[in-house]
Amino acid sequence: MSTNTSPATAFQAHDAKFAAITGLEPKLEVLLEVTEYPFAHEAGVFIAATNELFITSNQFVDKKTGVKKLQINKVSLGDAIQQVTREEIECDVIQMGNGGVNYQDDSKILFCAQGSMTQPSGLFAMDAKAPYNTAAVVTDFRGRPFNSVNDVVVHSKDGSIWFTDPSYGYEQGYRPRPRLPSQVYRYEPGTGTIRAVADGFGHPNGLCFSPDETVMYVTDTDWIYGDGSTDDSRVSSIYAFDVTYYSGSPFLCNRRLFAMADTGIPDGIKCDLEGNVYSGCGDGVHVWSAGGVLLGKILVDGGAANFCFGRNGELFILNETRLWRAELGPEVKGALLRI
């Protein structure tokens, strides 16, 4: 299915600098629609070598078991919309999969498993090729189980893994009562060292580095509680931290409010190579300058929990039952893959 949206209505400028991002002829189209369940919700991991996209669904009730689940999908993008195909990947090891990121030179995807009442929450590495072998990376903080690990990013220079751990699993009834605060963690695979590096959040959610990895952005989605209720007095914001080194170890310092989403919550978050900050919000993808100025929005009916960059200005937007592709200016490149 192909649905094209007029750039005049889909790309909403709030600052003249947004034109440098959208380019002269921005486009927005639906690549794939699945009506059986909300297949396009989180992760969004683009594998350039194979032109594939790994995504996780929102919660739905499995018709076979009658139990809530999340489904991992692999979308093969092809050279045209008519060639886009989807494969469901069954991986019982990853319970209630959510965020994800490219891992080990794209040979694997590092997924966040929110866990269940009987299976742990944590980080799991899955091969990017069939039979999709999967292994646990870390599933506890020194013996105390994680709440429901949500999103993850890998430092490009030292390979350390940074991730968020809110309490949504308990609030939604599929995880035990939390034994840890809602925090951000840093894990070193080589040594097994794990540290809590930031706290004071309601629900820490998405996170990413600036292009030079001197700033970390973390979204707090406390505006929406696990039962779906919302409260306009609660946080729906992005915080910025400086990544500062003391005695050779990184710390997140100088916490500051970077931006507040005016619609819904800022969920998944990414930077482009110019330092602009993108986040999936209640009405689409919002884009801020590195100075926190809202430059514009890519409007998608129903909003976007997450998204990821492809090649040369491609942006794949996860919109529950629809996967969209925005074509921005060809010089726009995501900071994660730099392509």
- pLDDT tens profile 167-209: 999 999 999 999 999 999 999 999 999 999 999 999 999 999 9
Long-range contact pairs involving 5-11 (C-beta distance under 8 Å, separation at least 24): 5/29, 9/299, 10/284, 10/298, 10/299, 10/300, 10/326, 11/296, 11/297, 11/298, 11/299
Q: What is the structure's pLDDT at 132?
A: 98
**Strands (DSSP E) found in 41-117:** 42-47, 52-56, 60-61, 68-69, 72-76, 85-89, 97-103, 108-113
Q: What is the structure's pLDDT at 158?
A: 96
SS3 7: helix
Full-model pTM: 0.96
Nearest to 206 by CA among 131, 151, 136: 151
Phi/psi at 335 (5° precision): -70, -25
Length of the chain (residues) = 339
Q: What is the structure's pLDDT at 1?
A: 43
Give average pLDDT by consecutive 10-residue segment, the chain, 339 residues: 65 98 97 97 97 97 91 92 92 96 98 97 98 98 98 97 98 97 98 98 98 98 94 97 97 98 98 98 98 98 98 97 98 97
SS3 83: helix
- Domains of the chain (ranges plus CATH)? 4-327 (2.120.10.30)
Q: What is the structure's pLDDT at 3?
A: 60
Q: What is the structure's pLDDT at 82?
A: 80
Q: What is the structure's pLDDT at 2?
A: 45
Q: What is the structure's pLDDT at 6?
A: 60
Torsion sign across C-alpha atoms 248, 249, 250, 254: negative
Q: What is the structure's pLDDT at 4?
A: 65
